[in-house]
Structure 1
């Protein structure tokens, strides 16, 4: 008489790629600037306390609240859907991106809280754990703990941080302090969104993926040291609204014009070829439509050039407006932190209307 053994274990399942669970990855899923402005216009205003040194008036990177004469609290949050399929890398990128806003204000991060929304019916606890592990790794590299957080069961995978930091009130750097005559310095090459589009289509090679991970997991640690330079007048990080969009925010916040020398803007190797091949995110077009007449391009610039200028950057580089006399100090700080491609990409000029011109 034969017997049959019944295996009561659940059948093995294959988890979907992380990027298949998101309609837009990384900072490419940010709401377009024009739509965001309409949303915020309907938000009730509240009288700001005197100690709120930076609020949302100029779309800056973080809020800053004075604690005392020597310390101000930098508070920000950032989260998004997967830009890569490797869960550890996704966590590292998202956390690095969130912490960047503290550095962009000239602050030093002190701790973080995790924001986690995951489709628990489609991703295993092990995969979700790797995402959180990647975020904790990035925080450890920044010298801060993940001190808590909040989790929900969601349709799309979402991960990010609330990041908190400290800065001396006299060393806060916003996107609103640029002055005519300043030079504009960019810390990282652009093209992340284009590489991510190629990755999602399965055409990004290992070398390209390595370059993408290298730039998106590189912490913007020069920020606090740059803020100590008196000649540094304004600072922001280039993320979801693209280089042109964040330059326009700086121009509007500062009441000035920004001129970008397109030939001087560093690109991630391979980004231009991929853009010419059609690997462009939907956010790029939404960004361009949102700029309105605020951004103008020279007539000899191509559709590919425009795609690169509007390309959403996930965990992008710092953009600094500084007095030309402080340029050597600024470049030396970038170099000391390993940002060897940092360089001058333009200048700030007097203008009747805040605008960005790219030539």
Structure 2
């Protein structure tokens, strides 16, 4: 852990990373009327996954045995180092394709930059970071779009390919199956501490820049049909969307959930984002949290950036943190 001496990008944005998302309850109110509202004549392909269940990406079947997976994700700086921010934002955007069981093929940049405030050399470093991770993923990064923006923002629009018969969807969960988590939690509180103090947490950077590619492949090989990635709505928020879409409930073993080193210290010292508190407010009415204290509940709702996959099933190296059960009085119970 060191103190950054570079120009602090996080100070030029009101929020950071996926914690700056519009709260889940408000977002559903915005997009609710769009679901199935405008029928398409002569569509180019069958829409397999759309807005209905708030899944990670859109999927369109384009021919027998082949579907396109499309997503976009961008956010304000989550770390001060521009190269690392670019890497994190790219890994986060690619994750939505992996969460659906797809393989990213091509992406384009999305860049907002306060050109009269921050040097363009920093923007070039952000783009270089994104390119580095895209190349690691075997994904072309070709062009994109930029705007002059009061706050810096960066991300990707990604197109991938998938087998339409082997998708991982958030509405395919079945009671009796285990829940596995492929990355530890705690990114939100560590990132918030970084924004507030300038402390650099390499364990958080390493986690956020790690691709979910291998976990996605392992899940497909294991026959997994249901998964989602854990980002701005926290573990509880993304799990709630999954069980609601699947018509089941979930039981979480709080002691089995992994956390990054320093996460509990950051929570203890008060580095909790507004996004995390809004996540908890959203899921609490649908959850039995009586088995844990308020701090543990905040960690489970912690707004992650470029988090891991939440898999309905088991894969090597990913701890089992709970299971799906028949639908009950609560969508989620934590013990």
TM norm structure 2: 0.94
Match of 2:8 in 1: 17
2:154 aligned counterpart, secondary structure: strand
Between structure 1 and structure 2, the one with the greater Rg is: 1
Match of 2:232 in 1: 240
Match of 1:137 in 2: 132
Gap change, CA 1:244 and 1:357, over 3 Å in 2: same
2:312 aligned counterpart, secondary structure: strand
Selected match of 1:226 from 212, 219, 228: 219
Selected match of 1:35 from 26, 32, 55: 26
Q: Alignment RMSD, CA only?
A: 1.7
2:111 aligned counterpart, secondary structure: strand
Match of 1:270 in 2: 262
Deviations 1:23-54 (A, max 9, x none): 11000000111111111124372236571000
1:31 aligned counterpart, secondary structure: coil
2: distance between equivalents of 1:354 and 1:116?
Answer: 41
1: distance between equivalents of 2:198 and 2:117?
Answer: 25
Deviations 1:279-318 (A, max 9, x none): 111111111122252222124x222101101110100000
2: distance between equivalents of 1:189 and 1:92?
Answer: 19
Match of 1:10 in 2: none
1: distance between equivalents of 2:173 and 2:32?
Answer: 25
1: distance between equivalents of 2:172 and 2:106?
Answer: 27
**Alignment of 1:294 onto 2:289:** no
1:78 aligned counterpart, secondary structure: strand
Q: Which runs of 4+ in 1 moved over 4 A?
A: none
2: distance between equivalents of 1:172 and 1:135?
Answer: 26
Does the 8 Å contact 1:109/1:165 carry over to 2? yes
Does the 8 Å contact 2:6/2:81 carry over to 1? no
Match of 1:169 in 2: 164
2:236 aligned counterpart, secondary structure: helix
Query: How many aligned residue pairs are there?
Result: 326
Does the 8 Å contact 2:180/2:312 carry over to 1? yes
TM norm structure 1: 0.87
Match of 2:122 in 1: 127
Cα deviation, residue 201, structure 1: 1.7
Does the 8 Å contact 2:288/2:330 carry over to 1? no
Selected match of 2:78 from 83, 101, 106: 83
